[in-house]
Structure 1
């Protein structure tokens, strides 16, 4: 009986963690859905690029759905353990096993497609710079999207400040966006070509790459922890089912 009680406590702990992870995934999905329009708005001028990034349009909804399923599984596991319902425990075990297999497959696919994604991002570098020159200061959607992106990420253009050279904004004002000069050493009221060159504000592409590399170890650790919790929950559920 004592062993069974310990298993029930472990089951509740593991499934509480799974439930919280599901809730966090839902929140991330909502944030992705809110911000996706800005990202796709920048790329919408290129039909071929937009097609390649079409999955981004559903990424937020996918995260919300996955998070809801994970949260439901956590709730199901807790109920199955507390009520000692073998049917619920077996359903929980089967679904968690399926989710675990899908996660492994998704991880493998991500690794296989990583070179393709990097090549795609490098290919569109010049196209995005061309879009900035043609639309920044003229197309309100593109201008607002880039301003919000540069403000949030503390970056300048896709590559650097030279992306804005020849744009309507620069031709009309002889200035560059103040984000390209926003450093502690330089004022940001007037941003001319010389100031932007001295500021050395990085392009948004490089900022994103560095951010991903910086957090890759953390993301990998979180993924391993989640997988370990899922495996532990499956083992405990199976043991409870047999008792």
Structure 2
């Protein structure tokens, strides 16, 4: 216990800074993924033939090792937070895109036809019918993406992007378990907190009628 207190006294301010860098890199990449993947998923739901090709391409990119993606962006974007965010953004897209596409396609067509009968435009049907009914599935994709990115962001340390990976790799290089633990535990806590936050948001955006249906199912 005394060793932990001593470590925090010596490195507490740096630990807070690295935690903030980790959150910034991860959450910004997720935000960019949301901005791109949700509208793209909605568009692709209208063109299933193109959708299979696009989702397949993104799935292939997802299989590329994260270190390789980071290395790929170095000649283009240099080192630091920008290439790290760009690489993490690529990994954030697939779960959100796939869940958005699947959930929009799964909306009961009779409800869409009812909206048409009421004179609703395509935009109004998307905002008023499709997105509310798909919100829980889309949020599930965002949750998965966010938790994965919190873990993968530790690798951003390799290209000078900072984050808690600095503690982990310093510990490995110096054979200091305290540094490894100081980096790994906050990453785990951040991942759990992120999952909790997005699970609460998922419940908030799920329509009440759908919630009651899920409980009785």
Please report the TM-score for the alignment, with normalisation by the length of structure 1. Answer: 0.30
Pick 1 or 2: higher relative contact order, CA cutoff 8 A, min separation 6.
2
Structure that is richer in helix per residue: 2
Q: Give the number of the structure whose alpha-carbon radius of gyration is greater.
A: 1
